[in-house]
């Protein structure tokens, strides 16, 4: 590489400055340079990297593609090809390889990436979108996280996006957080916030139950002491897609308040979320399952749905514990005589309501 000419330093960036701008670590930039040839065209004194605008444009394309789940080696080839084709306006170059709009073709599992942005999360054999979402989250690249979540919902539908993109990525972040001495907490908080935003955008305004006789709404609530709400938010969005009435109460609802709400609403079902065994209160679930309303001789009770790993091995009369997100939707839709539309082909269906999305 040639040394940078005097006068060009004003428009060039150091590795540290560029890393902060792109939201990656300096180690990642050096790794991309060493492994894929995505490096600066010039250096100062033959040693220190100085990144010029064309170099930055190539790296921006590299970041955009890896955020979309394209494997780093493939993204590097596309980014370099795009940079070499352009002589003006490199920053707007279109990559030679765009992320596919639909499910990725069948491929062998991608070997673990050596860059910090992609290799820190134990994802395993998951959809390509999970890898892109994880890379964007580790970089704290909020715009890319938003784009990935919106694309997953638009391409696969809410249920598949939740079960096969959001939940596996959250589980990976949670496992990394638990094994790395409280590191990556900021990654999980950012990812959870944007997932919550994406789920709420999917939800229609609450459907009106009306005054006619028939099943009441579905009440969704976390048990006292439980703060994890994402799975309930996903279920609320799924039910709203079917235009079924819901009442979402969110995190850590006091037992007395939840009991009062059930007595006032006369719900068709109550979904109780408990991710930790320490918060799963079987006496509360039994009390709600035994709550009655209506005139004598025609009294009704709610179906109690137990969601979350805290309920493992616990159930009782008038209670169900669905094993998947789809099972929960189908069960609740059946109370109203509604059929849940089947999503596009989906090989993984065992992630959802029975397992929590990881520690928060």
Per residue in 32-58, pLDDT (tens digit) is 888 888 888 766 555 567 888 888 888
Say which range, 85-94, 155-164, 294-303, 332-341, has the weakest mean pLDDT.
85-94
- Nearest-angstrom CA–CA distance, 21 and 31: 17
Say which range, 19-33, 163-177, 297-311, has the weakest mean pLDDT.
19-33
Q: The whole model's pTM is what? A: 0.65
Q: 91 with 60: CB under 8 angstroms?
A: yes
227 contact partners, CB below 8 Å, separation of at least 6:
251, 252, 360
129-153 pLDDT, tens per residue? Answer: 888 888 888 888 888 899 999 999 9
48-51 and 42-44 as β-strands: parallel, antiparallel, unpaired?
Answer: antiparallel
Q: Tell me, what's the pLDDT at 283?
A: 93
More confident residue, 119 or 127: 127
């Amino acid at each position: 590489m040639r040394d940078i000419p005097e006068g060009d330093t004003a428009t060039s960036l150091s590795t540290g400055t560029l890393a902060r701008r792109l939201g990656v670590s300096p180690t990642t930039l050096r790794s991309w340079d060493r492994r894929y040839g995505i490096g600066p065209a010039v250096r100062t004194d033959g040693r220190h990297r100085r990144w010029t605008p064309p170099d930055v444009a190539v790296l921006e394309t590299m970041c955009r593609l890896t955020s979309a789940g394209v494997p780093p080696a493939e993204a590097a080839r596309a980014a370099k090809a795009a940079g070499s084709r352009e002589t003006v306006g490199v920053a707007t170059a279109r990559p030679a390889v765009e992320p596919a709009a639909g499910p990725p073709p069948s491929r062998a599992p991608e070997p673990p990436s050596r860059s910090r942005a992609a290799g820190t999360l134990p994802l395993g054999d998951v959809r390509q979108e999970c890898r892109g979402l994880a890379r964007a989250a580790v970089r704290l690249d909020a715009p890319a996280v938003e784009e990935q979540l919106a694309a997953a919902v638009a391409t696969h539908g809410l249920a598949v996006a939740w079960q096969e993109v959001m939940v596996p990525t959250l589980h990976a972040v949670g496992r990394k957080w638990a094994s790395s001495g409280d590191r990556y907490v900021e990654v999980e908080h950012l990812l959870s916030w944007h997932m919550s935003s994406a789920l709420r955008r999917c939800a229609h305004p609450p459907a009106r139950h009306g005054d006619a006789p028939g099943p009441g709404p579905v009440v969704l609530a976390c048990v006292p002491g439980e703060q994890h709400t994402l799975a309930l938010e996903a279920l609320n969005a799924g039910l709203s897609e079917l235009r079924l009435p819901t009442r979402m109460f969110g995190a850590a609802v006091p037992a007395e308040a939840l009991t009062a709400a059930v007595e006032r609403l006369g719900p068709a079902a109550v979904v109780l979320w408990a991710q930790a065994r320490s918060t799963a209160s079987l006496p509360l679930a039994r009390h709600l399952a035994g709550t009655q309303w209506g005139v004598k001789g025609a009294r009704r009770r709610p179906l109690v749905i137990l969601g979350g790993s805290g309920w493992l091995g616990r159930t009782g009369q008038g209670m169900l514990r669905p094993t998947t997100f789809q099972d929960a939707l189908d069960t609740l839709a059946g109370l109203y005589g509604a059929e849940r539309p089947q999503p596009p082909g989906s090989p993984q269906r065992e992630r959802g309501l029975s397992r929590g999305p990881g520690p928060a």
